[in-house]
Structure 1
Amino acid sequence: MHSSYVIGVDFGTDSVRSLLLNTSTGAQLSSHTFFYPRWKAGLYCNRSANQYRQHPLDYIEGLEHTIKACLADVSPEIRSQIKAIGIDTTGSTPCPVSAEGIPLAMLPAFAENPNAMFILWKDHTALQAAEQINAASLRFPTNYLAYVGGAYSTEWFWAKMLHISHTDHTVRDAAFTWLEHSDWMPMLLTGKKLQDVQRNICAAGHKALWSEAFNGFPPLAFFEAIDPHLKKMAAQMPGTFVTSEKSAGTISPEWAATLGLSTNVIVCNGIIDAHAGAIGAELTPYHLVKIMGTSTCDIMVVPPQDLQGKNINGICGQVMGSVLPEFVGLEAGQSAFGDIFQWYVSLLTWSIQSTGGHSTDLSSQLLSALANEAAKIPGDAHTALSIDWFNGRRTPNANQSLHGALLGLTLGSDAASIFRSLAEGACFGARAINDCFISQGIPIHGITAIGGIAKKSPYIMQMLANILQLPIRVHRSENTCAIGAAMNAATAAGIHPSVSDAIRAMGQGFEQTWQPDPAMQQSTDHRYKQYLQSGKYIETVHL
């Protein structure tokens, strides 16, 4: 009896990684990463304007490179037993496409136009558009924002579409519709036509207002109240809406030949990377999975009968089947986490950068040195207080117009103490998310952490456990998003009857648990109250 294998493809912010796994044991046979060359060169982005765009060629080249590299590592016999490909991507990362489903940036007329590219999740150019959507929602007796926490974010699908329609009429008029990155990749690999695209309800529900409660999207009158162009786009939204563990079809002959795979290989529907990461991290009901990277995403699943029609306010959505098909998926998060520390390192190394001497190794060394020195500061020492909204606030209560802050600085504030304040503020932001759930009757039975910070920063992980006052277990794998996509793929191929069965068979387990220090509870509680009070003040300051 032959073993079977699947490929999980994880499209992240900076790179794409493909992973080849055994479906019976979860054993990893090969893993390869491709860094997006155009993104790495800073093309099509403008940090000062919060504009972050990615060219579809970065994705296509990365997909081909990483899968071919994985296949080159294994025998022909193993290659012949690959059954399915699963895909996760960042989100909301949508793109305007033609009537043929081609991203406009792939057409000669738009090849260098950032507005015709994929608009990355962290792009905040659509702030006014999001405000326009929120204002329009108040005119209706039905709360069409109820299932996205009560406020629409500049990071999401309709706001980005509306912003481009206001600022670039050429792109607006050329776009037949918009597709999330997580929907375009399966369509590309299967060769399906646009009218046959399967849109995943993970992205549609958490980012685009799709809900079973509305029998799909809100009515056209809602979109017309926002802008006539949105009504047009909503009226001609092609495709069906499905959970992510379903098959999108088999790989097209063209892509099978390009990659060296059988045309019988199934392509799974897409899913947002954080939700795939929660699957790969072996989530269970009421156990919060924190995906800790440049930002954070917090994912939980809850039995639908426990909610009984309750809407959880202030989060990034509750969607039936968005993570595991039999549960309601709840999403929250912070718009900046690791990005805050990288920003601080960039400030400290500015003079070195200006002479061309900065390196990734130097950043890592400096972060390590800062953490070591910050750890020596007594818990009751006076340090500045940080508000973590450096990229706006995602949860609780999305508001991307807010700004971060450092309060209580003195001439004695040194580099290590400021770093401590930034780390503390980021951890307080995480506690505010926990409180948002708990205050609305959603208990948190445990926490699992995944991502680079969970693996590489003992200082921040211990501080986080102290501030949350909960143990935090760290997942063993560094590739949980790709593993989650692979688990979906194994389910789509019928190898496992459900995603939960795939988790049990292919899970990688946990490597350590961070325990809170009870001696720190009083001081962290006091500082957290100061954080909340200061945050209320910062919300009143308009810069």
Structure 2
Amino acid sequence: MTGIIHPVSKSLDAKPRRTLDDRHMEKDQFVIGVDYGTDSVRSIIVNTNNGQEIASSVFYYPRWKEGLYCNPGENQFRQHPKDYIEGLESTILDCLRQAGPAAAAGIKAISVDTTGSTPVAVDETGTPLGLLPGFEDNPNALFVLWKDHTSVKEAAAINAHAKNFPVNYLQFVGGIYSSEWFWAKLLHILKEDTAVRKACYSWVEHCDWIPFLLTGGRKVSDMRRGVCSAGHKALWAEAFGGLPPDEFFSSLDPLLKGFTARLFTRTYTSDQAAGRLSAEWAQRLGLPESVIIGVGAFDAHMGAVGGQIEPYHLSKVMGTSTCDMLVAPAHEVEGRLVKGICGQVPGSVIPGMMGLEAGQSAFGDAYAWFRNILSWPLQQLLSQSSLISVETARALAAETTDRIIPELSRQAAAIPLSSQTELALDWFNGRRTPDASQLLKGAITGLSLGSDAPRIFRAIVESTCFGAKAIVDRFNEEGVPVKGLIGMGGVARKSPFIMQMMADIMDMPIRIHRSEQTCALGAAMFAATAAGVYDKVEDAMNAMGQGFDAEYHPDPAKAPVYAERFRRYRQLGQFIEENTTTSH
């Protein structure tokens, strides 16, 4: 039997489901949403009646913060499972302390979202190899973060190989397989490291492993894999009866022979339960074993739910990168395949609806890159000053660095709009969509001796907004109309300058969601649904959603200038793609 599993096994039902109408008849119940980001993990406790956040805690990954297991020059970004485990325990315990014993006693469920595709090699028990003796400090035995681009060759090989088959196994992921995804990363690790290859029994996404950990899983074959990660990154599709056949992978490289048999066939939507809290984790967290653990998903997908996504409204989670989510009634988009996006998967966002994903590989990362360039003297030279102490130098560097982007934004907003000012291309970490290619590079043109920091920053911001427009244009061109924009995440809430430019360039209003933790809140909504508090996640969205507190409207006078600059942005992108892409 194959396919998405929709009904929860009765053995996992916490209690009979209730509807939105009778939720007021019961006392307050609480759920925990856990959001694993690139730099940190955050947990929140939420009241299921009204979505009120009663506790929040964040944990910055210590090994990641030290730069361990990473080599930015080689686009290698790995994270240790101990960072994830320590952060999980620390944030939940901190939240429970804040909430008090009454709220802790009312915890019904925990759900988790993570970055992705962020997979790891595991043994037959589902244990990441990095937790086993001999592999503790081996980067290839750790989680391969979403932004790791070491597998560009393998992704290119998959794209070329797919053309040899009568069935297009890339049709549901936009027609192009990315180095950021599941199979490319697996093949790279197997080719790169003999010891890991011999010890690797299976390959697991971060969002599937955390629920497995919390439920005390002992066999990776029992892991409940989410349709979100499986469909968008691992080529799972109902049309294929599961994953592509072993022949597809083994003929690509013999190292992949037999892997499909050790992966999965069934997938589950995130409104379902992965199991109950294990005795070990119940003791560690001080929670009862009756707590339901929901099926995991990627951050942007749960974030779209936390941000109250609507059909045909592009939900933009804007952080280090962007993930853009769109949902549509499945019957309305049946037979349409949008080229060059990160996939379209039934039930990956809202069960019963088609979920379509796009995004940009660098968004906030592009601003941080420019900030780091400007702060180089502060970080490298100030501590050598003979005029101030080392402690003062560090404090001054930190204070000044924190003020760079706000001040750049203020001054950049005052620069008159012109069709001839500096122009940038936002592919500083490659291009995610439309048409994935991690070989592409960013660019800045039109520089002169008058090009100061605010002008260059403005061009970089503009380029990220142009990249967002390219995504909207692709959806519209492929017959899936974008009728509205919803902004979420740190950039959306913190930068009116960037959001106003986004509205002007898109020539569409953009609503900003009130919640500062839409991903964690979305996880909490799914937790409430998995526990039976609500019958469907749409009811949880209506009851627990926080609404919108800002809306940016486009300036019609700027539309023709931005249209001309966007035309030049596309020309620049074509030039860069034709003249600078090289095989690695």
**Structure 2 residue identity aligned to 1:432:** A
Over aligned residue pairs, what C-alpha RMSD do you find?
Answer: 1.1
Matched-pair contact (CA < 8 Å) for 2:475–2:481 = yes
Q: Give the AA of the match of 2:547.
A: G
Question: Aligned partners of 1:100 and 1:360: how far apart in 2?
Answer: 44
The answer to whether the 8 A contact 1:18-1:66 is kept is yes
Q: Residue in 2 aligned with 1:533?
A: 571
1:379 paired with 2:405, answer no
Q: Which among 238, 246, 254 is matched to residue 280 of structure 2?
A: 254
The reply to whether residue 478 of structure 1 matches residue 499 of structure 2 is no
Are the equivalent residues in 2 in contact too, given 1:197–1:239 (CA < 8 A)?
no
Aligned runs of 1:408-419 on 2, under 5 Å?
A: 408-419=446-457
Structure 2 SS opposite 1:217: coil
C-alpha separation in 1, matches of 2:308 and 2:134: 45
* Shift in CA distance, 88/315, structure 1 to aligned 2, threshold 3 Å: same
Partner letter of residue 93 of structure 2?
Answer: K
Q: How does 1:77-476 map to 2 (within 5 A)?
A: 77-193=102-218, 194-238=220-264, 240-355=266-381, 356=383, 357=393, 359-380=397-418, 382-476=420-514
User: Residue 364 of structure 1: CA displacement?
Assistant: 2.8
Give CA-to-partner distance per residue, 1:322-378, whole Å, 9 cap, x none.
000110100000000111111111111111111355655423311111111111211
Q: 1:513: which partner in 2?
A: 551
| Residue identity opposite 2:248 in structure 1 | F
* Contact 1:277–1:484 (CA under 8 A) maintained in structure 2: yes
TM-score by length of 2: 0.92
**What secondary structure, in the 3-state scheme, does the structure 2 residue paired with 1:66 have?**
helix
User: Cα deviations across residues 46-69 of structure 1 (Å, max 9, x unaligned)?
Assistant: 111111000000000000000001
How far apart, CA to CA, are the structure 2 residues paired with 1:304 and 1:251? 34
- Separation of aligned partners in 1, 2:418 and 2:39: 38
CA distance in 2, matches of 1:230, 1:205: 19
> Aligned to 1:110, what secondary structure does the other structure show?
coil
Deviation at 1:75, TM superposition (A): 2.9
Q: CA deviation digits over 1:483-515, x for unaligned, max 9? A: 000100000000000000000010011011000
Of the structure 1 ranges 490-499 and 366-375, higher mean CA displacement relative to structure 2 is found in: 366-375
The counterpart of 1:9, out of the listed 34, 38, 42, is 34
Q: Note the residue ranges of structure 2 that are not aligned, 5 or more in a row.
A: 1-25, 384-392
Q: Secondary structure at the match of 2:258?
A: helix
TM-superposed CA distance for 1:458, in Å, is 1.1
Q: Displacement, 1:407?
A: 1.4
Give the Å deviation of 1:239: 6.7
% same residue: 53
Deviations along 1:264-311, one digit per CA (max 9) or x if unpaired, are 000001010010100000001101100101110100101111112111
- Give the drift of 1:231: 2.8
CA shift for structure 1 position 410:
1.4
Corresponding residue pairs, total: 543
One-letter identity of the residue aligned with 2:64: W
SS of equivalent to 2:196: helix
1:327 maps to amino acid: M
Distance, in Å, in 1 between the alignment partners of 2:139 and 2:39 is 17
2:474 alignment partner AA: C
Give, in angstroms, the shift of residue 238 of structure 1: 4.3
The corresponding residue for 2:19 is none
Asked whether 1:491 is paired with 2:529, we answer: yes
After superposing on structure 2, the runs of 4+ consecutive aligned residues of structure 1 that deviate more than 6 Å are none
- Aligned residue type for 1:394: R
> Which residue of 1 is the match for residue 13 of structure 2?
none
Shift of residue 416 of structure 1?
Answer: 1.1
Whole-angstrom CA distance in 1 between matches of 2:455 and 2:264: 53
How many Å apart are 1:533 and its aligned residue?
1.0
Structure 1 residues 487, 360: closer, same or farther in 2, change over 3 A? farther
